[in-house]
Amino acid sequence: MDDPHHRPYDRTFEAVMFDWYATGVPGGACAVPIRRRVAMLRAAGVDVVVMGDGDRDTVGGEPRARPDGPGRLWLCVRGGDGGPTEGGPDDGAEAVRAVLVSLAERGVGAGLILIIGDRFGPPGRGTLGGSIPLIPEMARATAVSVGPEPGGSPPEVLHLGGGPATLLSLLDRQVRRRRHRRTPGVDDDPAWTIRETGGDPARHRVTEALFTLGAGGFATRGSVEEPTPGSVPLVLAAGIYTGGGAGQHLLPGPLWTGLLLDPPPEEDLRTLDLRSGVLTREETGHTPPVRMLRLACVSRPGVVAMRAEAGAGRLRAGSPLRPPPEGQVTEGRLDGHSWARVAAGRAGMAAVAAQRVGRDDGVRTLERIAAYVADPARRPVLRDAAAALEAAERAGFDRLLAEQRAAWAARWEDVDVSIPDDPAAQLAVRFALFQLWNNVDRRDEVAVGARGLSGGGYAGHVFWDADVFVLPAVASMRPAEAGAMVAYRLRRLAAARARAAAVDCAGARFPWESAATGDDVTPESGHLGGEAVPILTGQLEEHITADIAWAAVHHARWSGDRGFLDGPARPLLIETARYWASRCQVDDEGGAHLGDVIGPDEYHEAVTDNAFTNVMARWNLRRAADLVGPDHAEGRRWRALADRLVDGYHPASGLYEQFAGYFRLEPLTMEQVAVPPVAADLLLGRKRLAATQIIKQPDVLMLHHLVPEEAEAGSLERNLDFYGPRTAHGSSLSPAITACLLSRAGRPDEALDLLRVALALDLDDLTGTTATGLHMATLGGVWQALLTGFAGARVGDDGILRLDPRLPTAWGSLGLRFRCLGRRVRLDITRESVDVWTDGELWLRLDAAEARRLDGPARLPRRRE
């Protein structure tokens, strides 16, 4: 049965491609109607592709009227003597390919193209035989034949017949859909879309986190629009906290996605389109279906927009802004728009929203645009939000959507992954990149909590996750945002100084958990399962101070900003070194020690000389000494102290002892406990575990990851062999970074096994807690595993990008795009060679070869693997 609401051509397309002569203006016919539609489509923002015969001037002359419009007009010439020939070189096919590339640059995939032609020919004739060449890249396009097709049409072409009249009708539908604000869709490209059918109730809140959309420091969870039991809709803003002490948490803002749907959809398909940064929903089993599309505008910070539609009796818009679950809410009207503001202490978040309700063909439509502002220190200014809303309204929804697609296309042009042999991993890595962008999108200062802005979990507190796991990924994606992450720490240096002073130390000591002010907000107690335990990390997990210094240096190295360390970051490096200098205790034999600390392995608390902490402190002291120069007396003392800091290295075994006394613990391995990853502390209990060598996550090995130059040459492999079997991976931070280390140790197949755990951590909710927010450190770790692990990409102080690729057996090639040293870099890695492209001069060293200057494309042969 023909359902008018499910016809494949009754969707909103972003581009329409048709044949001028065969289907538009057959010989002798009047061209005026078709010209008018072309003009209307372009004015509405639709790209139009006209295919014609002859030369470009002839084709170009046919549509004649070319009014300015956001929609572009392409004129494509069919090849040769009136039709492309099958299998041979084909101008028409090449022209279509060029159009597809151009559309893709604006984020429009083939699935958003409507092709209208005739003479597509019978099945088996081939897809190049018709009036529009159906090249393989257009497989997801909707192709319609309005010609007679006496021999039948290919299966991928919908035959409507009706000639030019049908063509005009199809074009009119597109114009009408835009005028009536119908809900657009996405290109259902499996390489770019995460889909959820909503069939499993246990996944609902997980999906809310996975489908978070964020931009400009604001993010909206992907909750469904109608009130739903258990649903946790949230709008959060980076750095906007409420509450005090350990209870400090992100302030929920006014909600903008709420609708009333009666009855609510029983089944639906929700699609997160990574390529264009939009979330869609389509009801199944009901006609007309509920449809929705929403986005958080990348190019307009704080602006969000949605369209929705449903049967006329089912959809009620209600107020465009709804109160969040907590906070003091005030509401009102401003210039005809609704506003709502949430205040908590000095912080606040406000939104101004507009909406339009319409009707088309038995369907009620809704368009809603809102603009958010937030301020951590004072009441946010409504007028700022109103101005942003007004500008967005002037542009219109279609324009916002086009901007969104283009902005995301530009992101993916710079940063992306290609794993032809592993499409599932490729999609999951893209998801990681997507959510890193969503959650870290601010250039002034950005506080990246453990769960980002995707949920209330971990209260938005900022851990070393941000500095060591997220920042290195962001540094290769968005250098400015990585700088904003460092800025968050720099602006809280005063609090870190106060913390150091409070424990009778000099310099600056950063908090284990940080929020608005930079004071420590670590809770003092918690539960290991049912066991109430004191939480000592706030007091003892001190390595974060060196981690933050490391993050500043890492940002400077990858961005190529040589002035950063001597400028803005200089006080941070110096003050953290001062802290370590005052914190170390020197024994009678001259050895320097750090007692009573917790390393990354949190199963062993209050230990002495944790190798990771000591080596990071040593690195911090040396780095600061380098910065101040040899003439600086304090710097000379730092260097001398660094040289005396014990690191637990045993030359005979090649092992670092994780802390003093670790080797005397019961030599239990995970083989005797359970299959990792597992929270071994819940399984064995805190005390029992502390007496064994089981560790939560890489500890010694983290120094091989962060500061390999500080580790003994060749010690990675031996320490990996020793600590690997003892690692429970009971921290979500563990699998991705261990994958990175395994790659570096020449064990890429094992690395891939662990990478898959990291890739599934949120997508498959392996921890059972993704509902409360995405694990940002894992997302960052995933990208590090690709870039630093498999590709072996590192940047030193010399401004040279080093590559040392190690591909797993299952991958024949790995393509990476990233930012480095102010350049855009593309790698296509195989076992034989590495194809490199840069958009400017870049010094690069592959494997052990000499560094060479590159600018543009180059193929570099591999020396080994």
* Binding interface with another protein (CB under 8 A): 200-203, 205, 229-230, 246, 450, 457-459, 461, 523, 525-531, 533, 535, 537, 674, 677-679, 681-683, 685, 729-733, 765-769, 771-773
Residue 672: CB minimum distance to another protein, A: 12
Decide if 519 contacts 511 (C-beta within 8 A).
yes
Residue 733: CB minimum distance to another protein, A: 7
Identified catalytic residue from 367, 602, 605, 657: 602
Cis peptide bond prior to 708, omega within 30° of 0: no
In order of 414, 459, 493, 546, the CA distances from 523 in angstroms are 40, 11, 21, 22
Please give the sequence-ordered ranges of beta strands (E in DSSP) within 639-692, or none if there are none.
649-650, 655-656
For another protein, the closer of residues 346 and 527 by Cβ is 527
d(CA 389, CA 305): 10
Q: How far apart are the first and last CA of the chain?
A: 58
Residue 748: CB minimum distance to another protein, A: 23
Q: What secondary structure letter does DSSP report for 231?
A: -
Instruction: Clarify whether 62 is annotated catalytic.
Output: no
Decide if 756 contacts 426 (C-beta within 8 A).
no
Residue 822: CB minimum distance to another protein, A: 35
- What phi and psi values does residue 292 have, to the nearest 5 degrees? -150, 145
d(CA 280, CA 182): 13
Q: How many other CB atoms are there within 10 angstroms of residue 140's CB atom?
A: 15
Q: What secondary structure letter does DSSP report for 120?
A: -
Q: What secondary structure letter does DSSP report for 255?
A: B
Residue for token pair 């640059």: 105
For another protein, the closer of residues 529 and 563 by Cβ is 529
Residue 2: CB minimum distance to another protein, A: 35
In order of 209, 572, 625, 627, the CA distances from 631 in angstroms are 53, 20, 10, 11
Residue 463: CB minimum distance to another protein, A: 8
Picking from 170, 457, 409, 426, the residue whose alpha carbon sits closest to that of residue 299 is 409
In order of 210, 271, 440, the CA distances from 214 in angstroms are 12, 16, 9
Residue for token pair 């001190």: 542
For another protein, the closer of residues 552 and 757 by Cβ is 757
Q: Which two tokens stand for residue 103?
A: 């559309």
β-strands 303-311, 235-237 pairing:
unpaired
For another protein, the closer of residues 464 and 550 by Cβ is 464
For another protein, the closer of residues 138 and 689 by Cβ is 689
Q: Which two tokens stand for residue 229?
A: 């039991």
For another protein, the closer of residues 445 and 547 by Cβ is 547
For another protein, the closer of residues 205 and 492 by Cβ is 205
Cα 352 to the center of its chain, rounded Å: 27
Residue 199: CB minimum distance to another protein, A: 9
Residue 693: CB minimum distance to another protein, A: 19
Classified as helix, coil or strand, 471 is helix
Q: Which two tokens stand for residue 95?
A: 């022209």
For another protein, the closer of residues 246 and 741 by Cβ is 246
Active site residues: 602
